[in-house]
Amino acid sequence: MSVPAADRGATKIADRAVRRIAGRAATEALAPGEVRTDRSTASVRGRRARVDVAVTLPYPTVLDESGERVRSHVADRTARLTGLVVPSARVRVRALRVRPAKAVEATREAAEAGGGARVRRPWSARRVPVAVTALVAATACGVFLYDVLAVHAAGRAPARWRADFMEWLATHGPHRGVWPGAVAAFAVFCLGVWLMVLAVTPGSRGRLPMRAPLSDVHAAIDRRALASLVRDAVSGLPGITRARVRVGRRGVTVRAGLAFGELEPARTALTEAAERVLGSSGVARPPRLRVRLRTEPAWRAPVRGGEDG
């Protein structure tokens, strides 16, 4: 004799159990010991559960990426262990905790070990050219579509501007040898080439890729920010004036003036200071350094001891 399914009993998972599972899952999202849970809550309604976890993340870290990893892991892990449907998990970052020195050193060594891997340049979204092109194309298509629908649906006569435009195209096309049509065709060709170049090139020339501590983390530094770091480092050297720094994609050029002191030792100190900043900036491909040091008009060669007499 079989017992109906409705009379066999039911399994109910308490809110407390779901809360503890969600809190434990949050600590497993990143490396061991990096995430701490401050407080977590859970609410079970039938076969659905909603969880809320407050966490402390390590510093430094990318908050949006780390928070998303914790949220996704909490939702998936809780659903898998409880058998409930977890439509959403809310993660609140309440504090940041500085990593111990050993953890920071291990992260740096991992980044240096992966330095041989190819780091790609960041791709530009190019929202402005895409938005302008889409707006112009949509406006033109909308105007033409409105006139075509007015002719075929409402029985109106074609708009005067469309008739004139079609007549102009028929009489000024490139096959007629008329220069306005040839210029228009060449402009459309150039626009198509430009859009294709934008589609296949990464852009973002103002940013340089950096070594990332994790495989799923992409970092970049602005070239102007790197130029400011180098300029601040070399401007504090004795005798250096008018320091100008230009950071390109593959090279860094430092131009400075020397007001006093010996030329060669100053050039050596200038080179070492710039190389120190470039080495600690975390750039994936350290750019070539070129130093140009010139003496100021008021500069005089220093007099060595014993040579005055």
Percentage of the chain modeled with pLDDT above 90: 2
pLDDT of 133 over the 50 cut: yes
pLDDT of 213 over the 70 cut: no
pLDDT of residue 174: 58
One-letter amino acid at 240 equals I
pLDDT of residue 115: 47
pLDDT of residue 7: 63
Give the mean pLDDT of the chain: 79
Higher-confidence position of 302 and 22: 22
pLDDT band at 173 (very low <50, low <70, confident <90, very high): low
pLDDT tens profile 23-69? 888 888 887 778 888 888 888 888 889 899 988 888 777 788 888 88
pLDDT of residue 309: 41
pTM for the whole structure: 0.44
**What is the average pLDDT across 115-134?**
67
